[in-house]
């Protein structure tokens, strides 16, 4: 079984083909469209920008659905790795590639990590093609700015996550082909942060073309929300109080545009795919003309159940995660289940908790090719960003910090009356809220490595998974050996790996 686990998905024709982004339409007609003669019209500019979205979901897979490369950035490994390479999840596969992530024995040859690195850079390549080619096209200027802003939004998102996962990485701001593509050394974090922030500031200003807002495309406030995440991460790394305040300011902008839903379970209903709390989500709809494909949430996370198609249960939650919820936390039973009750009243029990929150049983009783979106940025995170930043600024929780965390806890049926307000106690409370709110949403490893020391990270993971072997250097992922080899040694390995 290939490590990019496949599902049978309804493949819909659209404006995007799969290939390197500079020649992604070269099959229509064969050989007649090249990077030199293609980017001439407004339609060309739109098609080039739309290709970015395909790489977020489907990726580069010339062999089709069963190509091991099938699946873009948010298809599965992105959100699987963040919980599996931490204390939230365990692998049930016989695949050493995922077992090694679960056991914290990952190395530079790990294929899921290698493919995710490739997906990030393939998407960046698409963004750079748009940014290189579209400015010279004679077209509506507002639409042109919109398309360029979309490209900058996603380029910033990709580089930010690359930096969070791998540290210093090659910074490619223009499209390049051939050997030169792999020859760049690692750039400093300062240079990467500068590009990410600049791109998102442009997106805040220029994402205004109404016909291309929503439904999987970002709003200006989506850029503000991502900036809040970026500023928070920068502030934590460099202990910069000014950037904590910037994070609060950007979070407030996003909150004003995207109010939280009243019921946690409703977030994951198919009828609410783009609800008011989804600041930006990856659109896994197989019904849209842009060529989106069904998501893998149910294939990966649901246990094998009678009447449910292709539920494999390749990952389960840890008992430590389940037990960490307060007993009256409404999110626990929405998110995790130890049993399933069939329509005839019979009950199937499991020996471990499984993640059920993405399954809308009424809309999709047979599971499999779900229309659920990946909620990449949600309003609840903005409130927790505020709480975290205020705790850092005041070295303890003030009234506004408690109000921010209570906005999230209150929806779960919890109060904050007895939460500690000292710095360390409130910080731990925030970390727990992130954990319970965002199971399998691509958060946990990022939150642990931002808010904990490497030694604390090791202790937390070891407590949840006693048989694992976490190391302090696991606060970074390994640079894929394939990339080091392609660079002929220009790229260097992260500390602790490659021994």
Structure tokens given for 331: 């999110």
SS (H, E, C) the chain: CCCCCCCCCCCCCCCCCCCCHHHCCCECCECCCCCCCCCCCHHHHHHHHHHHHHHHHCCCCCCCCCCCCCCCCCCCHHHHHHHHCCCCEEECCCCHHHHHHHCCCCCCCCHHHHHHHHHHHHHHHHHHHHHHHHHHCCCCHHHHHHHHHHHHHHHHHHHHHHHHHHCCCCCCCCCCCHHHHHCCCCCCHHHHHHHHHHHHHHHHHHCCCHHHCECCECCHHHHHHHHHHHHHHHHHHHCCHHHHHHHHHHHHHHHHHCCCCCCHHHHHCHHHCCCCCEEEEECCCCCCCCCCCCECHHHHHCCCCCCCCCCCCCEEECHHHHHHCCCCCHHHHHHEEEEEECCCCCEEEEEEEEECCCCCCCCCCCCCCECCCEEEEEHHHHHHHHHHHHHHHHCECCHHHHHHHHHHHHHCCCCCCCCCCEHHHHHHHHHHHHHHHCCCCCCHHHHHHHHCCHHHHHHHHHHHCCCCCCCHHHHCCCCCHHHHHHCCCCCCCCCCCCC
Q: Would the pLDDT of 30 be above 90? A: no
Share of the chain above pLDDT 70, in %: 88
What are the tens digits of pLDDT across the range 201-217? Answer: 999 999 999 999 888 99
- Name the residue among 358, 355, 317, 353 with its Cα closest to residue 338: 353
- Round to whole Å and give the CA distance between 422 and 234: 23
Least confident of 24-33, 83-92, 201-210: 24-33
| Mean pLDDT to the nearest integer, 109-118 | 95
List, for residues 119-132, the tens digit of each pLDDT value.
Answer: 999 999 999 999 99
Percent of the chain with pLDDT over 90: 79
Nearest to 440 by CA among 326, 349, 353: 353
Per the model's pLDDT, the better-predicted residue between 13 and 440 turns out to be 440
Task: Find the mean pLDDT for residues 269-274.
Answer: 91
Give the burial string for 271-288 (b: 16+ CB within 10 Å, else e): ebbebebbbbbbbbbbeb
Rounded CA separation 215/285 (Å) = 10
pLDDT above 90 for 72: no
pLDDT at 38: 77
| pLDDT over 60 at 14, yes or no | no
pLDDT above 50: residue 7: no
Give pLDDT tens digits for 284-330: 875 543 433 567 899 899 999 999 988 999 999 999 999 999 999 99
> CB-based burial of residue 496 (10 Å sphere; 0-12 exposed, 13-18 middle, 19+ buried)?
middle
Mean of pLDDT values over 241-257? 98
pLDDT of residue 372: 87
Q: Is the pLDDT of residue 349 over 80?
A: yes
pLDDT of residue 435: 98
Q: What is the reported pLDDT for 9?
A: 32
**Backbone phi and psi for residue 27, each to the nearest 5 degrees, phi listed first:** -90, 0
Query: How many whole angstroms separate alpha carbon 12 and alpha carbon 445?
Result: 34
Most confident of 48-57, 168-177, 466-475: 466-475
Cα angle at 385 between 383 and 387, to 5 degrees?
70
- CA-CA distances (angstroms) from residue 140 to 2, 46, 465? 44, 11, 56
Contacts of 193 (CB under 8 A, 6+ apart): 163, 230, 234
Cβ atoms within 10 A of the Cβ of 61, count?
18
Within a 10 A sphere around the Cβ of 365, how many other Cβ atoms?
12
- Round to whole Å and give the CA distance between 314 and 328: 28
Residues 64-76: b if buried by 16+ CB within 10 A, e if exposed: eeebebbbbbbbb
Q: Are 16 and 51 in contact (CB under 8 A)?
A: yes
Q: Determine if residue 326 is left, alpha or beta; phi over 0 gives left, psi from -120 to 50 gives alpha, anything else beta.
A: beta
Higher-confidence residue: 294 or 426? Answer: 426
Give the residue extent of every domain in the chain: 297-356
CA 461 to chain centre: 21
Q: Is the pLDDT of residue 473 over 70?
A: yes
C-beta atoms surrounding 482 within 10 Å: 15
* pLDDT at 223 > cutoff 60: yes
Confidence of residue 36 (pLDDT cuts 50, 70, 90): low
Q: Which range, of 33-37, 95-99, 394-398, 413-417, averages the lowest pLDDT?
A: 33-37
122: alpha, beta or left, given left = phi > 0 and alpha = psi -120 to 50? alpha
pLDDT at 124: 96
Q: How many CB atoms lie within 10 A of CB 190?
A: 10
Total length of the chain: 499
Range from 1-15, 154-168, 219-233, 440-454 carrying the lowest mean pLDDT: 1-15
Q: Please tell me the predicted confidence (pLDDT) of residue 371.
A: 84
Question: Between 75 and 110, where is the model more confident?
Answer: 110
pTM of the model: 0.92
């Amino acid at each position: 079984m290939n490590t990019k686990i496949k599902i049978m998905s309804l493949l819909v024709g659209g404006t995007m083909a799969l290939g390197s982004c500079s020649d992604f339409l070269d099959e229509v007609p064969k050989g007649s469209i090249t990077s030199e003669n293609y980017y001439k019209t407004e339609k060309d500019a739109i098609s080039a920008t739309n290709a970015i979205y395909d790489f977020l979901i489907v990726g580069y897979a010339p062999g089709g659905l069963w190509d091991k490369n099938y699946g873009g950035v948010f298809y599965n490994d992105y959100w699987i790795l963040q919980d599996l390479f931490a204390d939230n999840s365990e692998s049930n596969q016989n695949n050493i590639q995922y077992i090694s992530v679960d056991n914290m024995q990952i190395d530079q040859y790990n294929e899921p990590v290698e493919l995710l690195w490739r997906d990030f850079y393939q998407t960046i390549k698409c963004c750079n093609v748009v940014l290189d080619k579209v400015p010279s096209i004679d077209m509506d200027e507002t639409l042109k700015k919109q398309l360029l802003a979309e490209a900058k939004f996603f380029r910033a998102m990709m580089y930010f996550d690359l930096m969070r996962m791998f540290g210093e990485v090659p910074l490619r701001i223009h499209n390049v082909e051939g050997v030169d593509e792999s020859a760049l050394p690692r750039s400093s974090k300062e240079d990467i942060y500068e590009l990410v922030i600049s791109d998102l500031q442009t997106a805040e200003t220029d994402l205004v073309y109404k016909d291309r807002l929503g439904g999987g495309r970002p709003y200006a406030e989506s850029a503000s929300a991502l900036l809040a995440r970026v500023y928070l991460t920068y502030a934590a790394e460099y202990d910069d109080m000014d950037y904590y305040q910037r994070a609060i300011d950007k979070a407030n902008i996003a909150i004003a545009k995207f109010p939280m839903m009243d019921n946690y379970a409703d977030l994951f209903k198919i009828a609410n795919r783009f609800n008011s709390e989804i600041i930006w989500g990856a659109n896994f709809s197989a019904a849209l003309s842009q060529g989106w494909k069904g998501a893998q949430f149910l294939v990966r996370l649901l246990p094998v159940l009678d009447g449910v198609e292709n539920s494999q249960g390749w990952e389960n939650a840890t008992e430590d995660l389940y037990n960490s919820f307060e007993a009256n936390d409404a999110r626990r039973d929405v998110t995790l289940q130890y049993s399933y009750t069939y329509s005839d009243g019979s009950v199937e029990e499991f020996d471990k908790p499984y993640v059920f929150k993405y399954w809308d049983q009424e809309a999709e009783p047979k599971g499999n090719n779900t229309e659920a979106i990946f909620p990449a940025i949600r309003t609840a995170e903005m409130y927790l960003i505020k709480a975290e930043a205020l705790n850092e600024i005041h070295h303890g929780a003030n009234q506004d910090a408690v109000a921010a965390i209570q906005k999230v806890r209150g929806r779960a049926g919890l109060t904050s009356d007895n939460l500690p307000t000292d710095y360390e106690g409130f910080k731990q409370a925030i970390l727990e809220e992130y954990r319970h709110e965002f199971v399998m949403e691509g958060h946990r490893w990022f939150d642990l490595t931002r808010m904990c020391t490497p030694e604390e990270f090791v202790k937390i993971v070891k407590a949840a998974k006693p048989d694992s072997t976490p190391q302090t250097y696991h606060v970074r992922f390994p640079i894929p050996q394939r990339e080091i080899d392609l660079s002929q040694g220009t790229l260097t390995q992260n500390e602790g790996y490659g021994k």
